[in-house]
Structure 1
Amino acid sequence: MTPITEVEGRRISLSNLDKVIYPASGFTKGEVLHYYASTADVLLPHLVDRPLSFLRYPDGPDGQRFFTKNVLPGTPEWVRTAEVPRSEGPTRQILVQDLPSLMWSANLVTEFHTPQWRADAPARADRLVLDLDPGPPATVVECCRAALWLRERLTADGFHVYAKTSGSKGLHLLVPLEPTPSERVSAYAKTLAVQAEQEMPALVVHRMTRSLRPGKVFVDFSQNAAAKTTAAPYTLRARPEPTVSAPVTWAEIEACEEPEQLVFTADDMAPRLRDHGDLLGPLLTGDEARPLPVKAPR
């Protein structure tokens, strides 16, 4: 019998709580739900008002994985949705605005992915993202080197820069912006990626071509496009272990000499939050948002 749990007055069916989702560590679905409940205070503000895409992996990272953007059949009527424009016509996507909708979504076993814009301003980005993806044998150590250079360039243009692990192999850099058309943000981000490759050709590549990527860091600027999404802060990832897309300090990036130094799992997050709080909190206030420069990066 599927247990029914009441969360802030909403009745939610939570299924298969003993099912092992992460076989390498024995981490169960119940532990997945506990993780999301215990990090809701910091996770939810990064999801609110952003139409979500779900990367579902109900049978674990070795099972079937599939993206879901449209509102799912059986979605409770109290889960909020938003109309989202698409080239083929508008559709509706889920908004996770509160703890009940977070727990209902987490019961699907999903990574949470968000666009760089909010539902009330489609395709007007309030942040820039650069996804640093290492091509083996490069690792997150090389990503850290590229991240430090990119931080310097972005800082020179007046921006505040924040970082988190991807929860997979690389790093994400995040920059708060005054709302700006996504195509302008994409063009600026591409210019940065190209310049990084020009300055560090042995380390960085800006094109996705697989043959160019071994041993280098791919600076993926494409996630700034209005139709693209990025793994949300604090989301679990569909990896062998329950790794988290975890905010990190620049001191940790500067000190990184081994890939394991920047791998964080669900069990690591409570002590990290006690020590650091939400390192990405400034992204939420808008106080540090800056306009894009009129000219291309120097």
Structure 2
Amino acid sequence: MPGPARQQAGPKVTVEVEGRRMKLSSLEKVMYPATGTTKAEVIDYYARMAPVILPHLADRPVTRIRYPHGVHDMQFFEKNVPAGTPAWIRRAGRDPVFPFIDDLAGLTFFANLNSLEFHVPQWRFEGEGRDAVPLNPDRLVIDLDPGPGTGLREVSVVAVIVRDRLSEIGLASVPVTSGSKGMQLYAGLPVAGHTSDEIRDTVLQLAQELTKKHPDLVVWKMAKDLRPGKIFLDWSQNVAAKTTICPYSLRGREAPTVAAPRGWDEVEAGAAGEMIRQLRMDEVLERVEQSGDLAAEITTPQS
């Protein structure tokens, strides 16, 4: 059975963004067929989100997931700076050579390459180019992944449990619904504190502890056959080589959902049985306009 028809490339438009001239192409391309969301709307979303997403991207090497023909077709991860990237895009590393996304111009450039998703590690680089040095993590992340038979309600129940446990060791956490199935909890850390491996081990120990305390709700092992009816506390996202979806990034799902920072009041309501769901880009735009960045506290390293 033939797959969806691919759209022909449309005309290019030359624009100037913060003094940088670039060509935008195929602006009428439908990136999300289920909602009719076009590439122009994706670029507009990132332009309007720039004030809140750029601090979350700052000095972090950015892995992109590109969807050349929209979410209904092929996709690929891209770590290296692609051919044709302008010299003004900062980079770091040797193999791969990662880009930084410092400003609206850089965000627009990569959105124009059909990069819907932006993924970053829990650490930043100091410096740039071949001599850039990765720093220790400035935050930890716990990815709450719902197993079969569970959803965001059960995730919310576990999120409150994890929040309270982190609070006991002096860490304030920020919830972010992933735009996919689950939720991430972030907690800021002092940069000079611990290595990625040490953070991973701490989060692993916490996941094991909570599995023992709440065996009907939580599982720490990755085995798929252990996950039905439970929430997997994914501690591995703290490994230095791993990345996590950046807050405010779009997701390449059927609809243009977003990795959206949430208030703890929303999560507590979800845990109590009220409706909680993943948010779409129009909803997140409205929320940011009204309330700003609910995850601003994890953009600045702790002292």
TM-score by length of 1: 0.92
Question: Which secondary structure state, in structure 1, belongs to the residue aligned with residue 190 of structure 2?
Answer: strand
Following the alignment from structure 2 to structure 1, what is the Cα–Cα distance between the partners of residues 232 and 71?
Answer: 24
Task: Give the root-mean-square deviation of aligned CA atoms.
Answer: 1.4
Paired position in structure 2 for 1:268: 283
| Aligned partner (choices 7, 29, 32) of residue 22 of structure 1 | 32
1:103 partnered with 2:118: no
Measure how far apart 1:61 and its partner are.
2.0
**Equivalent residues of 1:48, 1:96 under 8 A apart:** yes
Question: Which secondary structure state, in structure 1, belongs to the residue aligned with residue 123 of structure 2?
Answer: coil
**Equivalent residues of 1:8, 1:99 under 8 A apart:** yes
Question: Which secondary structure state, in structure 2, belongs to the residue aligned with residue 117 of structure 1?
Answer: coil
| Aligned partner (choices 292, 296, 303) of residue 277 of structure 1 | 292
Question: Which secondary structure state, in structure 2, belongs to the residue aligned with residue 262 of structure 1?
Answer: coil
| Aligned partner (choices 203, 212, 222) of residue 208 of structure 1 | 222
The alignment covers a number of residue pairs equal to 283
**Equivalent residues of 2:152, 2:276 under 8 A apart:** no
Question: Which secondary structure state, in structure 2, belongs to the residue aligned with residue 133 of structure 1?
Answer: strand
| Aligned partner (choices 136, 139, 142) of residue 154 of structure 2 | 142
Question: Which secondary structure state, in structure 2, belongs to the residue aligned with residue 130 of structure 1?
Answer: strand
Measure how far apart 1:203 and its partner are.
1.0
* Structure 2: 5+ residue stretches without partners: 1-10, 127-132
Paired position in structure 2 for 1:175: 187
Distance change in 2, residues 1:248/1:206 (3 Å)? same
Q: Deviations over 1:105-160 (max 9, x none)?
A: 11122200001000115251000000001012100111111110111110000111
Q: Deviations over 1:178-219 (max 9, x none)?
A: 122100000001011111111111111111111111121111
Following the alignment from structure 2 to structure 1, what is the Cα–Cα distance between the partners of residues 292 and 75?
Answer: 31
Moved over 4 A (4+): 257-260
Question: Which secondary structure state, in structure 2, belongs to the residue aligned with residue 278 of structure 1?
Answer: coil
**Equivalent residues of 1:123, 1:226 under 8 A apart:** no
Following the alignment from structure 2 to structure 1, what is the Cα–Cα distance between the partners of residues 104 and 96?
Answer: 24
Question: Which secondary structure state, in structure 2, belongs to the residue aligned with residue 261 of structure 1?
Answer: coil
TM-score by length of 2: 0.90
**Equivalent residues of 1:208, 1:218 under 8 A apart:** yes
Question: Which secondary structure state, in structure 2, belongs to the residue aligned with residue 282 of structure 1?
Answer: helix
Measure how far apart 1:57 and its partner are.
1.6
Question: Which secondary structure state, in structure 2, belongs to the residue aligned with residue 285 of structure 1?
Answer: coil
Q: Deviations over 1:63-122 (max 9, x none)?
A: 1111111111111111111116xxxxx431000001100100111222000010001152
1:35 partnered with 2:40: no
Residue range with higher mean Cα deviation, 23-32 or 90-99: 90-99
Paired position in structure 1 for 2:244: 230
Paired position in structure 1 for 2:166: 154
1:115 partnered with 2:121: yes
Paired position in structure 2 for 1:87: none
Which amino acid is the alignment partner of residue 190 of structure 2? E
Paired position in structure 1 for 2:231: 217
**Equivalent residues of 2:153, 2:276 under 8 A apart:** no
Paired position in structure 1 for 2:254: 240
Which amino acid is the alignment partner of residue 117 of structure 1? W
Which amino acid is the alignment partner of residue 139 of structure 2? R
Following the alignment from structure 1 to structure 2, what is the Cα–Cα distance between the partners of residues 223 and 93?
Answer: 19
**Equivalent residues of 1:123, 1:182 under 8 A apart:** no
Residue range with higher mean Cα deviation, 197-206 or 240-249: 197-206
**Equivalent residues of 2:33, 2:72 under 8 A apart:** no
Measure how far apart 1:44 and its partner are.
0.5
Which amino acid is the alignment partner of residue 61 of structure 2? P
